[in-house]
Amino acid sequence: MISDRVKSGSERTPHRSLFKAMGYTDEELRRPLIGVVNAHNEVIPGHIHLDTIAEAVKRGILAAGGTPIEVPAIGVCDGIAMGHVGMRYSLPSRELIADSVETMAMAHGFDGMVLIPNCDKIVPGMLMAAARVNIPSIFVSGGPMLSGKVGPVTDVTEVSLSNTFEAVGAYKAGKIDDEELKDFENSSCPTCGSCAGMYTANSMNCLTEALGMGLPGNGTIPAVYAARIRLAKEAGFAIMDILKKDIKPRDIMTEEAFMNALTIDMALGCSTNSMLHLPAIAYEAGVIIDLEIANEISAKTPNLCKLAPAGPHHIEELNAAGGIQAVMKEIAKKGLLNLDLMTVTGKTIRENIEKFSNKNPNVIRPVENPYSETGGIAVLKGNLAPLGCVVKRSAVAPEMLKHSGPARVYNSEEEAIEAIFGGKINKGDIVIIRYEGPKGGPGMREMLSPTSALAGMGLDKDVALITDGRFSGASRGASIGHVSPEAAEGGNIGLVEEGDIINIDINAGTIELDVSEDTLSERRKTWRPKKPSITTGYLARYAKLVTSANTGAVLKND
């Protein structure tokens, strides 16, 4: 590591000279050099305040005897990227983030890292890099925003970003007026931080804690609380402790740790995007996660939380109820977690959860009284998705857990949105959006706009949506994504025709296109993939290397 290389030796004089050009002293160079990877920018609400978090981290490192060195990381705001070409860059940015963190850490030989992400792809991208580089590392996120409030004083409703997207559908359907829509726009996102529901950003920050890579509170302490600053300082202290103990990411992110994370994923009812990110992080740590494992865990894990958009609660309430450690303590009662695994606290999970308790059984249901005996995410298989697809079961209305209906087929998100807002989708229909997968998009766009439009128009309990793209954690209803193989790779979703009957049984884990194999074989003879919409630049390179959604959409040279 560079701190070893700059301490002594005449051959390291040029290295020390370059550090001294930046004002570093001999004493600072004698200390461990800790990379503080700060994803601050001025275009993501969850990142606008990260300089404050970074300063607190650096204070902690300095107080504990290290030398902090701040470096940047990029990030995409999924909400701002939604509904246009920008969303094609969101998932691919995860790989850029992982690569850039690896580059900065390896090129400059940091002794350890404190990584400061917050929103959707930044968290998994940094976790992938930490596993890849494998030097002592700890995560401290920027924290969730508070929920908003809309409506008159006599009838206030707590809301978050998903309600704003749904408000557009309600407005298009004539259910709310201009003034009410403006109230959602002005009030749904009242503070900095990651959006207030169990969307992808908060899902991954909570799962970072469950994996053991974040301190207790990392996933739930609100961005605007002083406790978040204290947590950042504690992360600075903690990195120096695990550096001394030589605890590295792969010592923490073991196969058993990923099983723990998947279990908490099911208990919380996290975003379906976790089924992309956990396998991708595991891949970098040398661990294989497949969708079959996820279903096995879901089958025995009770769903204890219904956070927005699946239910009325927001992350600040989960935090007040005891946070992720309290959820883990509840789940541990059923013997579903390995409690003897090491974490970045330098202690085991068993030691970490000891002081926590469930302070609000309405927010964190006791294991004796879960929302359901099975987890919040389900993996479906059938001839429409031979390699699997994913649905957030906890956000599906009971009447839609089993559904049959005619396919309404669209070859892009834009075509589907036009049909939905044009009143062309009827109760009972099943909307198919294809050629939106990792390769076909390219980039595997989120389909929050169509799902929110359906919900806002009151159709989420009557219409299913199936795609080889993916969904925001803010989506609710029978939103089934990650269909693998995708249409661009010749998957059967590319052979569906208008009016074909599709049978969905979420509890049974099946999704079937009611068309014979002979008919599908005949259709395949004349099938031609849709031409990709982008053929140059980063996305073209990404499309050539990216794997299927069922393997985490990681990049492989082979």
Instruction: Judge whether 267 and 305 are in contact, CB under 8 Å.
Output: yes
Task: For residue 378, give every residue at least 6 positions away whose Cβ sits within 8 Å of its Cβ, in sequence order, or none.
Answer: 295, 298, 390, 391, 393, 506, 507, 509
Tokens representing 191? 């503070």
Tokens representing 409? 């087929």
Provide φ and ψ at 36, rounded to 5°.
Answer: -105, 100
Provide φ and ψ at 479, rounded to 5°.
Answer: -100, 105
Instruction: Give me the half-sphere count of Cα atoms (radius 13 Å) on the Cβ side of residue 387.
Output: 19
> Catalytic site residues?
472
Q: Residue 148 and residue 314: Cα distance in Å, rounded?
A: 10
Task: For residue 281, give every residue at least 6 positions away whose Cβ sits within 8 Å of its Cβ, in sequence order, or none.
Answer: 124, 127, 128, 131, 253, 258
Q: Residue 418 and residue 357: Cα distance in Å, rounded?
A: 48
Amino acid letter, residue 152: P
Say if residue 309 is preceded by a cis peptide, omega within 30 of 0: yes
Tokens representing 220? 């739930």
Using alpha carbons, select from 364, 166, 203 the residue that is nearest to residue 281: 203
Q: What angle do CA 226, 230, 234 make, to 5 degrees?
A: 165
Q: Residue 469 and residue 72: Cα distance in Å, rounded?
A: 29
Q: Residue 113 and residue 304: Cα distance in Å, rounded?
A: 33
Other CB atoms closer than 10 Å to residue 523's CB: what's the count?
A: 15
- Three-class secondary structure assignment of 150-171: ECCHHHCEEECHHHHHHHHHHH
Q: Residue 195 and residue 211: Cα distance in Å, rounded?
A: 21
Measure the CA dihedral 276/281/285/286, to 10°. 10
What region does 442 belong to: left with phi over 0, alpha with psi -120 to 50, or beta?
Answer: beta
Task: For residue 339, give every residue at least 6 positions away whose Cβ sits within 8 Å of its Cβ, in sequence order, or none.
Answer: 332, 348, 349, 350, 353
Task: Tell me the longest C-alpha to C-alpha distance in the chain.
Answer: 77
